[in-house]
Amino acid sequence: MRKSRANDPILKEQNRIYYLSHKSELSGKAIKRYYADPEKHKERSREYHKSNRDKINKTMRKYYQKNIVKMKEYSRNDRARYPEKYEDRFKKWKYGLSLKDYLVMAEQQKGKCMICDEVIMGNGATGKLHIDHDHEKGNVRGLLCYKCNVGLGYFKDNPKILLRAIDYLNEIQ
């Protein structure tokens, strides 16, 4: 039975030496192959990642644990440099809403809160509208200012409680 050469330390060392001595030539060829048909390489990469997801995740977790301080520092710097990227990811994760969709909604509302009609975005205003969503179904209802969004939360999104609050305000005035 023939022995596999995949784990042969001598072969690995020979390959490493060859690669180091021909690195620029090899990387140049790889770049030419990539640019000859980039979609083919992207598709191969996607397929590899799809079929080896567990292996890749395990390797990444291992690397992260080994370099946790470095990774946290990188994440902090990245978050500071690209806040819109992280905001977009969060909105997609929590509400299923991309930053593009959010901006379209804000434009449709003319940058105003749907409850109090205060201009929060645009026309010189620098605030941001908060995403109001149904906590049970998870669907997005609209964009509100901070105070109105929190107010709805305090009223437990319950119209009956809100109507009693309106009656109360009308009675005391």
pLDDT in tens, 5-23: 667 888 888 888 888 888 8
Answer yes or no: do 20 and 74 share one domain.
Answer: yes
Task: Read off the pTM.
Answer: 0.58
Place of tokens 């990188």: 74
Distance of alpha carbon 133 from alpha carbon 114, whole angstroms: 13
Q: Is residue 161 part of a domain?
A: yes
Q: Is residue 3 part of a domain?
A: no
Answer yes or no: do 109 and 69 share one domain.
Answer: no
Name the domain count of the chain.
2
- pLDDT tier at 169, thresholds 50, 70, 90: very high
- Expressed as residue numbers, the domain containing 63 is 12-81
Q: Is residue 92 part of a domain?
A: no
Could you tell me the CATH number of the domain that includes residue 145? 3.40.1800.10
Answer yes or no: do 102 and 137 share one domain.
Answer: yes
Q: Is residue 169 part of a domain?
A: yes
Distance of alpha carbon 157 from alpha carbon 135, whole angstroms: 9
Answer yes or no: do 102 and 173 share one domain.
Answer: yes
Q: pLDDT tens for residues 87-133?
A: 889 999 999 999 889 999 999 999 999 999 998 887 666 678 999 99
Q: Is residue 2 part of a domain?
A: no
Answer yes or no: do 63 and 16 share one domain.
Answer: yes
User: How high is the pLDDT of residue 61?
Assistant: 95
Answer yes or no: do 71 and 105 share one domain.
Answer: no
For the chain, the C-alpha Rg in angstroms (whole number) is 27
Q: Is residue 93 part of a domain?
A: no
